[in-house]
Structure 1
Amino acid sequence: MDFAYDARTEELRGRLLAFMDEHVYPAEALAEEQRAALASPWDTPAVVEELKAEARRQGLWNLFLPDEEYGAGLTNLQYAPLAEITGRSPQLAPTVLNCSAPDTGNMEVLAQFGDDAQRKQWLEPLLAGEIRSAFAMTEPEVASSDATNITTFIRRDGDEYVVTGRKWYISGAMNPDCKIFIVMGKTDPDGPDIRRQQSMILVPRDTPGVTVKRAMKVFGYEDHYHGGHAEVVFDDARVPVTNLIGEEGGGFAIAQARLGPGRIHHCMRLIGMAERAIELMCRRAVSREAFGKALAQQGVVHNWIADARVTVEQLRLLVLKTAWMMDTVGNRGAHTEIQAIKIATPRAVVDIIDRAIQLHGAGGLSQDFLLAELYAGARTLMIADGPDEVHQRSLARRELRKYA
């Protein structure tokens, strides 16, 4: 395993670091000021559109997509350090580079499983950043960590499918530019194979019977840049049969293909979030005094900073190993490693951010620093894309099989 950055990665990394310093970090406060003046908090601040245009001009666009026909054609190992950099400004940077969830996963689904007409109608405008999208899987009435539980029903009626169900925490759905939902539901709820009961279908937002009911908060945050997280009701929403992605019964397999890259992308960005927290911790430590000396001279602060550095280096190596394995043996071959990073990274980064908050005192809880928002985002990822306990259960079973 060789984790050294190749020439292309080094070149993109240098350009991206400069873009962050020159454009993204200075725009963080401005974006919030502009948002406060908007008629709707879900509208896009002007500076975000300006940054998107600049990122595209600089070739820092769709870096996440390995398909050379549609994206940058980077391997997971090449993309990892770039995603880490964007994680240092998790609300703004992924958005302006067109590398933010849920659009990334939806574009991957359309590129891999969509037909020509679906790619023309929906993938192309998503790749161009002209529209946004949402992925509708999680439901309030069932444990959605087990995708076989979902109750949304997709019934065929002649040349149409009729979609009925209630979803929540549907990321991206509050954004007025969100034009399309990828909805997971059951086309064969009584089928003998519980992993062949589900299908995925494209439902345009303006379809009669689709109602975006409300925004769901995450620790009090609405995640405006990601388009929020909504409760959505599908009440006999009718779409053409041509909107089915792949085949009937293929939804579970498509979901698994979608979640593998999504999980590692989250972990890559989480490392960037941890690096931002360490930076803020160190800056606070050298500039703040308590009990007659700088916080940087307090022994416990030394422990927090040292532990954080060691943890980040360990996590980065595990994520890079996982990326390398996904590139060399595929997502299925890297299943254990994907689950390992999904378990280890969010909980470790939550702990680092928590220490940084503690060092900032009351300020760490406030909107004046990024830390509270970073904490909310990192803590959420102990649940999103499958809660830790589900991955622990699966990983442990795989280990135990070696000894059965």
Structure 2
Amino acid sequence: MDFSLSDELTDLKARVEAFVRDELIPRERDPRQGPHGPSDELRRELNQRALAAGLFAPHMPREWGGLGLDHRGKAVVFEAAGYSLLGPLALNIAAPDEGNMHLMEQVADERQKHRWLGPLSRGETRSCFAMTEPRPGSGSDPGMLATTYRKVDGGYRINGEKWLITGAQGASFTIIMARDVNSPEGKPRATMFLADMDTAGISVDRTLDTLDQSFPGGHCEVSFTDVFVPDEDVLGAEGEGFRYAQVRLAPARLTHCMRWLGAARRAHDIAVDYASRRHAFGKPLIEHEGTGFQLADNEMDIHTSRLVIAHTAWVLDQGHKGRHESSVAKVICSEAIWRVVDRSMQVLGGFGTTGDTVVERIFRDVRPFRIYDGPSEVHRWSIANRLARGQQK
């Protein structure tokens, strides 16, 4: 594996870092950010700045206005963008839109791409991915999928409830995961559907109050009541929903790791700077082993995460599905990133709990990463099952 960066990618990384430093960090206290994420007005303004800088949608193919980066290129650029919580939003590489763009680019037909993917990739719209359900529906166990569809003349009727649907408030369209109402219990036959959010029967019922606040549109409860979706708006093939979910989820887990690694590095840099200037017991904090060792551990966790991301990106770039590798990366990186941010706050002491630095905000926003896109326990279970199957052969 070659970990060296091309001259072009090195230059792109430097440009993103400069953009974050000069354009985004000064705007991090913009009042158009609330408990349910930045406003669309702020998002569009930041998008225009990224467009002017030639940094917009770097993950998308050039035919859709992007820079055509492979996964290894994304690892470099997404981490650089994540150094500010506004970075992914500005570059149009934030979840859930980034994952939805990847999925549609791989699975959607040409008509669907022009109708939904084009506007999304240009930042004209936002989207959401309606998969997670309240109990007794599907969370980590896809076999519990409760939202149903049934075939009718010219299309399908969908009924069910979803929750923790990121970005639903203000989204232009959604990708709905539902099971065939006639599929056997415990073994659902799932299909993905594309639908505009103003379709009759789709209702955003509540925006949940959550720990994190960086996703536009927040996290919502959404209901589907006899929603009609025409045949041509099935995403991919009927019955292939779970397979397409892996097309989306494996890369999406990895890009989460990339973005949050940038945020963790920001928290670490703030802690190093503070520990170098703050004195106690006759010397700078960083010269006390209790502080210096925590920052050294941060360095190691950041380095390890970066290597894991690079390896998994390489696997995906080789054309492999990377499901196992992405589970490994998700657990290692989400837990290492959390440790980095937690230690950084500890080093900052009382100062770290205030809004005087962005560390307090990163602390809140990064904690849910160990839960969404599969909690660590589910990924460990999947990894263990793979080991068991290997022993049985």
Task: Give the TM-score, by structure 1 length.
Answer: 0.91
What SS does the corresponding residue of 1:139 show, helix, strand or coil?
Answer: coil
Alpha-carbon distance in structure 2 between the residues aligned to 1:169 and 1:15 = 34
Shift of 1:239: 2.4
Structure 1 unmatched runs, 5+ = none
Q: Is the 8 A contact 1:35 1:44 kept in 2?
A: no
Matched residue, 1:17: 17
Matched, 1:63 2:58: yes
Shift of 1:217: 2.5
Q: Deviations over 1:124-163 (max 9, x none)?
A: 1101101100000000113411122110011222113211
Matched, 1:117 2:111: yes
- The residue identity in structure 1 corresponding to 2:52 is R
Matched, 1:242 2:235: no
Shift of 1:51: 2.5
Shift of 1:289: 3.4
From 134, 145, 148, the counterpart of 2:128:
134
From 194, 198, 206, the counterpart of 1:214:
206
Alpha-carbon distance in structure 2 between the residues aligned to 1:329 and 1:180 = 29
- The residue identity in structure 1 corresponding to 2:177 is M
Shift of 1:329: 4.2
Q: Is the 8 A contact 1:347 1:379 kept in 2?
A: no
Matched residue, 1:172: 167
From 172, 185, 194, the counterpart of 2:178:
185
**Is the alpha carbon distance of 1:159 and 1:285 closer, same or farther for their aligned partners in structure 2, counting shifts above 3 Å?**
same
Alpha-carbon distance in structure 2 between the residues aligned to 1:143 and 1:191 = 15
Shift of 1:87: 1.5
Matched residue, 1:344: 332
Matched residue, 1:43: 39
Matched residue, 2:2: 2
Q: Is the 8 A contact 2:37 2:213 kept in 1?
A: no
**Is the alpha carbon distance of 1:321 and 1:234 closer, same or farther for their aligned partners in structure 2, counting shifts above 3 Å?**
same
Shift of 1:119: 1.2
Alpha-carbon distance in structure 1 between the residues aligned to 2:192 and 2:346 = 44
| Aligned length, in residue pairs | 390
- The residue identity in structure 1 corresponding to 2:328 is A
Structure 2 unmatched runs, 5+ = none
Matched, 1:97 2:91: yes
- The residue identity in structure 1 corresponding to 2:338 is V
From 71, 78, 82, the counterpart of 2:77:
82
Shift of 1:75: 1.1
What SS does the corresponding residue of 2:40 show, helix, strand or coil?
Answer: coil
Shift of 1:292: 4.9
Deviates more, 1:284-293 or 1:131-140: 284-293
Q: Deviations over 1:367-400 (max 9, x none)?
A: 3322233223322121111111221122122233
Shift of 1:58: 2.2
Shift of 1:169: 0.7
Matched, 1:277 2:267: yes
Alpha-carbon distance in structure 2 between the residues aligned to 1:237 and 1:291 = 67
Q: Is the 8 A contact 1:13 1:81 kept in 2?
A: yes
- The residue identity in structure 1 corresponding to 2:221 is E
Alpha-carbon distance in structure 2 between the residues aligned to 1:326 and 1:43 = 33
Q: Deviations over 1:320-360 (max 9, x none)?
A: 011111112422xx333211111111111111111111222
Matched residue, 1:52: 47
Alpha-carbon distance in structure 2 between the residues aligned to 1:288 and 1:247 = 60
Q: Deviations over 1:70-99 (max 9, x none)?
A: 232211111111111112113x11111111
Shift of 1:315: 1.4
What SS does the corresponding residue of 1:69 show, helix, strand or coil?
Answer: helix
**Is the alpha carbon distance of 1:41 and 1:136 closer, same or farther for their aligned partners in structure 2, counting shifts above 3 Å?**
closer
Q: Is the 8 A contact 2:37 2:217 kept in 1?
A: no
Q: Is the 8 A contact 1:75 1:327 kept in 2?
A: yes
Matched residue, 1:378: 366
**Is the alpha carbon distance of 1:42 and 1:16 closer, same or farther for their aligned partners in structure 2, counting shifts above 3 Å?**
closer
Alpha-carbon distance in structure 2 between the residues aligned to 1:241 and 1:50 = 36
Residue pairs, 1:326-345, within 5 angstroms: 326-331=316-321, 334-345=322-333
- The residue identity in structure 2 corresponding to 1:360 is L
Q: Deviations over 1:180-229 (max 9, x none)?
A: 0111011255249936x00011121111211111112222x443x43211
- The residue identity in structure 2 corresponding to 1:326 is L
Percent identity of equivalent pairs:
34
Alpha-carbon distance in structure 2 between the residues aligned to 1:125 and 1:320 = 30
Matched, 1:203 2:195: yes
- The residue identity in structure 2 corresponding to 1:5 is L
Q: Is the 8 A contact 1:170 1:229 kept in 2?
A: yes
**Is the alpha carbon distance of 1:41 and 1:329 closer, same or farther for their aligned partners in structure 2, counting shifts above 3 Å?**
closer
Matched residue, 1:316: 306
Q: Is the 8 A contact 1:216 1:222 kept in 2?
A: no
Q: Is the 8 A contact 1:218 1:376 kept in 2?
A: no
Shift of 1:310: 1.2
What SS does the corresponding residue of 1:119 show, helix, strand or coil?
Answer: helix
Shift of 1:27: 1.4
**Is the alpha carbon distance of 1:51 and 1:15 closer, same or farther for their aligned partners in structure 2, counting shifts above 3 Å?**
same
Deviates more, 1:137-146 or 1:367-376: 367-376
Deviates more, 1:362-371 or 1:349-358: 362-371
Alpha-carbon distance in structure 2 between the residues aligned to 1:41 and 1:246 = 31
Matched residue, 1:258: 248
Q: Is the 8 A contact 1:155 1:161 kept in 2?
A: yes
Matched residue, 1:147: 142
Task: Give the TM-score, by structure 2 length.
Answer: 0.93
- The residue identity in structure 2 corresponding to 1:97 is L
